[in-house]
Amino acid sequence: MASVVRTKRTKSAFVTLLGCLLLSYVYAQEDNEEYKGKYLGKLNPYHHQVSGDVWAVDQYTLLLTSFNYDGNGADTFFWAGASNRPGPQGFIVPDEWGKTNILDRYFNRDFTLTLPDNKKITDIKWFAVYDLQSQNTFGDVYIPEEFDPPAPQKISQLSKRSHNVSSGPIVILDSKTISIPQFVYDGQSADTYFWVGLGPQPSSKGHKVPDEYGYMDSLRMYNDEDVMLQLPGDMTVFDVDWLSVFDVKTKSNYGSVIIPDGLNVPPSLIKVIKQTQSLPNCVQLHKRYQVAWEIFGPQITIQLIGQVAEDEYMAFGLSGSEDSSRMEGADVAVAYMDDTRGYTTDYNITAKAPCGKVLGQYKGVCRDELLGGLDSNQLYTAVRENGINIITYRRTLVSSDPGDKDFPVDKPVYVVWALGRLDKTNNEPSFHDLYPRSDVALELNRQEAENTCIDFTESSGKFSQKEPWQKTEIFDRSVRTFKATIGPSGGRRGYQGITGKPSVGLAWYIEGALIPELYLRRGLTYSFRVHGGNNPHSANLYHPLIITDEPHGGYDTLSDLAQSKIRVLAGIELTRRGRPRPTAVGPLCLSKHNGRDRRLDDTFPSFKKFNRTLVQICEPGDGDTLIVSPNSSWPDLVYYHSFTHSNMGWKIHVIDSYTRSSANIAHKLSLLITITTVLFHLL
């Protein structure tokens, strides 16, 4: 591919660049450097060892590479202006941190500078390192007349061929990012992907592009959605001729677009994280997750490689079913780092719920050791570097623990995988955020090793950062009764985003709202009508309501010692034998996804819109009512929870009066403004 890339780029250089610019471009090519935007030139070096290259990233942004300056000027700044040559008439260009401080020393640095006040590169004639006091230019570069800075380019729309594929005009946002507005596809084909490649028209010789959520699975149905794709690894739009919705099995193109040569688009500037693979087989499970392995004698060595946060786990293992990828019954390793130590704990999944006791028996996602089994995984190495966890472990193909599953070497085997957050209070996995959308079968003992893994790219929130849903408060003196039901926790913008805590997948809905903050006045009496499920045999749908003084919840799963440290304010009594027993239980009232894929929860801009897609099913009957009368002994902040699972409820503010002092409101307002501003900056 590399040689093809080069000819393509050189061609685009001929089309778009002239004279001396071309020379430097070719120079860049020979260095095999990545695309950095449109080249403006070398800084003319006059004083203080100023040197470096300057590129236009987009209309407003310059990229400096290999920049040097000895830092010895007295009053020296990045300086730009529209006069004929650098002089006192100009303005300061803030440094790479957005600051207008006097410049320090730079040694061989790469960074971007954004012109202030929405000024454009086409508004200036020169950019300089300039000393205001001595009015001396230390280095400068000139912007050519008629300069055309890189910008997102609108190209054609997807051709309509079959399976209802269509879109609006596609926009190349930068050298790695493609936006497909109003994308439609019926989702009716089993082996169909976003697919890119070289040549006059789409063919099976191409590369899969992870979907907008990073999944490598066959595409789902899209109904008029705006989709953002990032080309994998170090691939750029200059490396491909077309983008297609392509069925790999039947080699059919359902709709495609030609990506023109020589696009003058911004560079992506996202860093590619190169990695050497040590095991012969590797499969990309998700854009952020790879599994590599080797079978040697009676043992299998497995390496899990994930671009995860420090508090995230990677799970991988054998499916609970012989003919599909199923979580229930699966035998998995949960791998994570705790500071510098790695873990690959052996788990048994008996229900889609965090491990908990159901009538005295452990059920859910439980450690084998808790069930009387053995931890059969032998941790080999564990490192975290560049935001990537690489954890290697070994297991015998046939385990000595009869509860484990065997790794077959004579046929493909269905596997399951997941990424999610750890509950850091006990290092147990909470609900997974990412997990396979379709069945995944691996042939472990292949004749020829297969490696389909791609390089990770530094994650960037530039186009994808999503703020949490707006939180709800119930601050109303007339509301004394609350109906408490159960519903989905709503992805990263829901429970996780609002509370900052990991989620078990379900959460309390109070008066139809996802985990509102409640305000209860001391001296008044309130009742909670509890509809959290009353079947104690259920591993995930038995939720008595309790109120305690700590934010974690899941009282029943805690040790006696941990329980003794918690102040229970309502919902638990002691049996005659001194065991805690919930007092407020009621028939289940559950909001459900109704077949919709919960991995798309983050696409909803608000809880209200999300809630509209749920269906609520309530079992008949009235439940218990939890009566609470906060008094002067209650702290100002308490929490409602499920008795059985942690991280399902949220805050109750205990107040002395329902009048909000104006100071308080002003404070909240300013806080809100700060939060909004921060979010805007993230976007």
Q: Does 569 bind ligand NAG (CB under 6 A)?
A: yes
Q: Does 513 bind ligand NAG (CB under 6 A)?
A: yes
Instruction: Classify 576 as helix, strand or coil.
Output: coil
Instruction: Classify 420 as helix, strand or coil.
Output: strand
CA angle 14–16–20, rounded 5-degree value: 70
Q: Which of 168, 169, 403, 408 binds ligand NAG (CB under 6 A)?
A: 403
As measured in angstroms, the least distance from the Cβ of 19 to ligand NAG is 52
d(CA 504, CA 431): 5
Q: Which of 512, 566, 596, 600 binds ligand NAG (CB under 6 A)?
A: 512
Report phi then psi at 556, rounded to 5: -65, -25
Q: Which of 611, 642, 644, 647 binds ligand NAG (CB under 6 A)?
A: 611
**Looking at 57-65, 193-201, 208-216, 399-407, which segment touches ligand NAG (CB under 6 A)?**
399-407
Say what the alpha-carbon torsion angle 111, 116, 120, 126 is, to the nearest 10 degrees. Answer: -70
Q: Which of 159, 164, 264, 451 binds ligand NAG (CB under 6 A)?
A: 164
Q: Does 401 bind ligand NAG (CB under 6 A)?
A: yes
Of residues 253 and 348, the one with the C-beta less far from ligand NAG: 348
Of residues 144 and 523, the one with the C-beta less far from ligand NAG: 523
**Looking at 92-100, 400-408, 427-435, 558-566, which segment touches ligand NAG (CB under 6 A)?**
400-408
Of residues 503 and 548, the one with the C-beta less far from ligand NAG: 548
As measured in angstroms, the least distance from the Cβ of 575 to ligand NAG is 18
Residue nearest to ligand NAG (CB): 403
Q: Does 596 bind ligand NAG (CB under 6 A)?
A: no
As measured in angstroms, the least distance from the Cβ of 371 to ligand NAG is 4
Q: Does 373 bind ligand NAG (CB under 6 A)?
A: yes
Of residues 350 and 503, the one with the C-beta less far from ligand NAG: 350
Q: Are 137 and 46 in contact (CB under 8 A)?
A: yes
d(CA 162, CA 450): 32
**Looking at 53-61, 135-143, 192-200, 606-614, which segment touches ligand NAG (CB under 6 A)?**
606-614
As measured in angstroms, the least distance from the Cβ of 659 to ligand NAG is 23
**Looking at 284-292, 398-406, 494-502, 673-681, which segment touches ligand NAG (CB under 6 A)?**
398-406
d(CA 247, CA 162): 11
Q: Are 203 and 217 in contact (CB under 8 A)?
A: no
Q: Does 601 bind ligand NAG (CB under 6 A)?
A: no
Residues in the chain: 683
Of residues 206 and 494, the one with the C-beta less far from ligand NAG: 494
Structure tokens at 427: 């290092």
Q: Which of 608, 618, 619, 653 binds ligand NAG (CB under 6 A)?
A: 608
As measured in angstroms, the least distance from the Cβ of 333 to ligand NAG is 13
Residues 433-472 that bind ligand NAG (CB under 6 A): none
As measured in angstroms, the least distance from the Cβ of 373 to ligand NAG is 3
d(CA 432, CA 334): 11
Reported for 92-99, long-range contacts at CB under 8 A and 24+ positions apart, including other chains, are 92/116, 93/62, 93/127
Q: Does 490 bind ligand NAG (CB under 6 A)?
A: no
Q: Which of 29, 616, 619, 655 binds ligand NAG (CB under 6 A)?
A: 616
Q: Which of 32, 633, 657, 661 binds ligand NAG (CB under 6 A)?
A: 633
Bridge partners, residue 316, by sequence: 333, 417
Reported for 134-138, long-range contacts at CB under 8 A and 24+ positions apart, including other chains, are 134/73, 134/74, 134/75, 135/87, 135/88, 136/46, 136/47, 136/73, 137/46, 137/47, 137/85, 137/86, 138/46, 138/47, 138/48, 138/50, 138/69, 138/73, 138/76
Of residues 368 and 556, the one with the C-beta less far from ligand NAG: 368
Of residues 52 and 255, the one with the C-beta less far from ligand NAG: 255
d(CA 273, CA 281): 19
d(CA 241, CA 152): 17
* Binding residues with ligand NAG: total (CB under 6 A): 22
Q: Does 312 bind ligand NAG (CB under 6 A)?
A: no
As measured in angstroms, the least distance from the Cβ of 586 to ligand NAG is 17
Instruction: Classify 674 as helix, strand or coil.
Output: helix
As measured in angstroms, the least distance from the Cβ of 394 to ligand NAG is 18
Q: Does 631 bind ligand NAG (CB under 6 A)?
A: yes
Encode burial over 497-511: b for 16+ CB neighbours within 10 A, e otherwise.
Answer: bbbebbbbbbbbbbe
Of residues 214 and 505, the one with the C-beta less far from ligand NAG: 505
As measured in angstroms, the least distance from the Cβ of 121 to ligand NAG is 44
Say what the alpha-carbon torsion angle 535, 315, 492, 356 is, to the nearest 10 degrees. Answer: 20
* CA dist 551 → 301, 433, 647 (Å): 40, 22, 8
Structure tokens at 673: 């403004």
d(CA 22, CA 34): 16
Class of residue 355 by CB neighbours under 10 A (exposed 0-12, middle 13-18, buried 19+): buried
Q: Does 661 bind ligand NAG (CB under 6 A)?
A: no
Q: Does 53 bind ligand NAG (CB under 6 A)?
A: no
**Looking at 22-30, 33-41, 457-465, 607-615, which segment touches ligand NAG (CB under 6 A)?**
607-615
d(CA 317, CA 368): 13
As measured in angstroms, the least distance from the Cβ of 403 to ligand NAG is 2
Q: Are 160 and 255 in contact (CB under 8 A)?
A: yes
Q: Does 81 bind ligand NAG (CB under 6 A)?
A: no
As measured in angstroms, the least distance from the Cβ of 674 to ligand NAG is 26
As measured in angstroms, the least distance from the Cβ of 427 to ligand NAG is 19
User: Which of these, 210, 177, 215, lies nearest to 460 by C-alpha position?
Assistant: 177
As measured in angstroms, the least distance from the Cβ of 285 to ligand NAG is 23
Q: Are 64 and 114 in contact (CB under 8 A)?
A: no
Looking at residue 25, its amino acid is: Y
* CA dist 67 → 23, 43, 54, 110 (Å): 20, 9, 9, 6
Of residues 26 and 371, the one with the C-beta less far from ligand NAG: 371
Q: Does 350 bind ligand NAG (CB under 6 A)?
A: yes
Q: Which of 212, 368, 556, 602 binds ligand NAG (CB under 6 A)?
A: 368
Rg (CA), the chain: 29
Q: Does 186 bind ligand NAG (CB under 6 A)?
A: yes
Q: Does 400 bind ligand NAG (CB under 6 A)?
A: no
CA angle 598–604–606, rounded 5-degree value: 125
In the complex, the residues that contact ligand NAG under the rule CB under 6 A are 164, 186, 188, 348, 350, 368, 371, 373, 401, 403-404, 512-513, 569-570, 591, 608, 611, 614, 616, 631, 633
